[in-house]
Amino acid sequence: MPFGGGNKCGRCQKTVYFAEDVQCEGQSWHKSCFQCMVCNKSLDSTTVAVHVDEIYCKSCYGKKYGPKGYGFGGGAGTLSTDRGEHLGIKHEAPAAHQPTNNPNASKFAQNLPGSDVCPRCSKTVYAAEKVIAGGNSWHKACFRCAKCGKGLESTTVADKDGEIYCKACYGKNFGPKGFGFGQGAGALAYAQ
């Protein structure tokens, strides 16, 4: 025990005496200092989440350090636009969509033996990031429609001449035209 009668508080660094001591992860806190580092909500043993020497409520901890992306919402039917800027999370702007710059993407002869090259960005595609479609290997980030830039999946991709498209753009640009093919009355139209 340090000089002064007690351990130092994890938040204010003042002496914590026995009557006001809250223990968490081997560190002492004043009862009044045992609060979330972001929202200042009072914590207890069931609501605390620890990261290094900082304590958070489970909600702020999840926003700052939890998994991100599709499927990690705050509950059923939850849509949140909170990106965590108030938690110090910085986001980089997504790269602008670029159509394939390879004039003949369908030829395998352009690849070096034993390595795959993404036809969209012309960089090496490694196994952990490989998506195969249209006879080529693509990076997951480059696996987008050549017309609208929409991200694709195996169920939504259509290919033509070594390029990949979403089904809507493929149908609009290469599909059949005329009466009975989605262009008449009662058909949904997609206008750019």
- For 20-62, the pLDDT digits (tens) are 888 888 888 888 999 998 898 988 888 888 888 888 888 888 8
Higher model confidence: residue 67 or residue 16? 16
What 3-state DSSP class applies to 149? coil
pLDDT on residue 185: 52
pLDDT on residue 173: 83
| % of the chain exceeding 70 in pLDDT | 65
How far apart are the C-alpha atoms of 89 and 74, rounded to whole Å?
Answer: 18
pLDDT in tens, 60-72: 888 887 776 655 5
Q: Is 51 exposed, middle or buried (0-12, 13-18, 19+ CB in 10 A)?
A: exposed
How far apart are the C-alpha atoms of 151 and 139, rounded to whole Å?
Answer: 11
pLDDT on residue 111: 46
What HEC string does 38-88 produce?
A: CCCCECCCCCEEEECCEEEEHHHHHHHHCCCCCCCCCCCCCCCCCCCHHHC
Is 82 a residue whose pLDDT tops 70? no
Could you tell me which residues come within 8 angstroms of residue 32 by beta carbon, excluding any fewer than 6 positions away? Answer: 20
pTM of the model: 0.36
| % of the chain exceeding 90 in pLDDT | 4
How far apart are the C-alpha atoms of 25 and 36, rounded to whole Å?
Answer: 15
pLDDT on residue 1: 47
Task: Determine the average pLDDT of the residues in 110-139.
Answer: 78
Torsion of CA 106, 109, 111, 115, to 10 degrees: 110
Is 163 a residue whose pLDDT tops 60? yes
Radius of gyration, alpha carbons of the chain: 27
pLDDT on residue 179: 57
pLDDT on residue 107: 47
